[in-house]
């Protein structure tokens, strides 16, 4: 994937960059795999705003993604690599030998015409989905399950990957993109390779209107509000606002909000915060 830097013909394009879309092979999605999306604009079932700074945005249709990859031992050909407005990664259209079509998150480097397969008997090649118990140690994976059969939940964003570092008994150890090291059941499935669209993190929106296209409205700073509206509001002149905190008073910048007795704590070997402390 490439990134295009636009000429600053107008001021809003001075810092703007866009994707080159050179990895896209088809512009029209598969109609049988589309669903409508109803936007809430941050309102609940009573019409009251419960999430601020949301609304608008370009109209989208949802692409049904096969996160479970349970169509085992049937080869599938990669027909297209497409853009998905609902996620940062690219998606690939698979056409199975029996004629069924499904979308998956496209691995980085996948090409049209490649044959992929899922199941315990599949080889650990790019795009194949198989249990962690059948992969060699050191394999780079994405779209990882946390519970067997539930579907991929981890490492689905553009350019993310995890590494299989160890296996012991019924569990496998993974080093996640955040730096966290945790164990998951070895029967959980994952797809071999790195998620596509690696350069997504380097794209600059460049103007406020582009943020509006994504469904994000302008955000008001807490220090610009009145004391009745925000803990950091008020004061004479341009006051700094005091200790940074949220609208509900929860401190920012390092305050821990995770419950001490959370059930999943036993699966986390090393927290991502420990990695930052060593630097």
Predicted TM-score (pTM) of the model is 0.90
Q: Which residue has the tokens 């929860």?
A: 250
Judged on CB neighbours under 10 Å (0-12, 13-18, 19+), 45 is exposed
Q: Is the pLDDT of residue 198 over 60?
A: yes
Structure confidence at residue 2 (pLDDT)? 86
Structure confidence at residue 231 (pLDDT)? 94
Q: Is the pLDDT of residue 279 over 60?
A: no
Overall average pLDDT of the 180-199 stretch: 96
Q: Is the pLDDT of residue 277 over 90?
A: no
CATH architecture of 3-41+56-200+259-278: Beta Barrel (2.40)
Q: What percent of the chain has pLDDT over 70?
A: 97
pLDDT in tens, 59-105: 999 999 999 999 999 999 999 999 999 999 999 999 999 999 999 99
Judged on CB neighbours under 10 Å (0-12, 13-18, 19+), 108 is buried
Instruction: Write the CB contacts of 37 (distance below 8 Å, at least 6 apart in sequence).
Output: 60, 61, 62, 86
Residue pair 142/107 in contact by the 8 Å Cβ criterion: yes
Structure confidence at residue 274 (pLDDT)? 58
Q: To 5 degrees, how large is the angle CA 50–CA 37–CA 25? A: 130
Instruction: Give the pLDDT band of residue 241 (cuts 50, 70, 90).
Output: confident
């Amino acid at each position: 994937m490439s990134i295009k830097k636009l000429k600053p013909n107008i001021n809003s394009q001075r810092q703007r960059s866009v994707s080159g879309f050179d990895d896209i092979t088809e512009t029209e999605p598969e109609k049988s795999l589309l669903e409508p999306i109803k936007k809430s604009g941050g309102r609940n079932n009573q019409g009251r705003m419960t999430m601020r700074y949301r609304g608008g945005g370009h109209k989208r249709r949802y692409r049904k993604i096969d996160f479970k990859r349970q169509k085992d031992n049937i080869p599938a050909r990669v027909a297209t690599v497409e853009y998905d407005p609902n996620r940062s990664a690219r998606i690939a259209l698979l056409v199975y030998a029996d004629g069924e079509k499904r979308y998956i998150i496209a691995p980085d480097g996948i090409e049209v015409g490649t044959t992929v397969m899922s199941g315990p008997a599949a080889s650990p090649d790019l795009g194949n989905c198989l249990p962690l118990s059948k992969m060699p140690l050191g394999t780079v994976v994405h779209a990882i399950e946390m519970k067997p059969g539930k579907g991929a939940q981890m490492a689905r964003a553009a350019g993310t990957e995890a590494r299989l570092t160890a296996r012991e008994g019924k569990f496998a150890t993974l080093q996640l993109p955040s730096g966290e090291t945790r164990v998951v059941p070895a029967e959980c499935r994952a797809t071999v390779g790195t998620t596509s669209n690696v350069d997504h993190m380097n794209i600059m929106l460049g103007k406020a209107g582009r943020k509006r296209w994504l469904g994000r409205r302008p955000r008001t700073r807490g220090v610009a509000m009145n004391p009745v509206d925000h803990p950091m509001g008020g004061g004479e002149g341009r006051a700094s606002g005091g200790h940074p905190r949220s609208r509900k008073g929860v401190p920012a910048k390092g305050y821990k909000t995770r419950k001490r007795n959370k059930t999943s704590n036993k699966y986390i070997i090393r927290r991502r915060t420990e990695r930052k402390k060593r630097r």
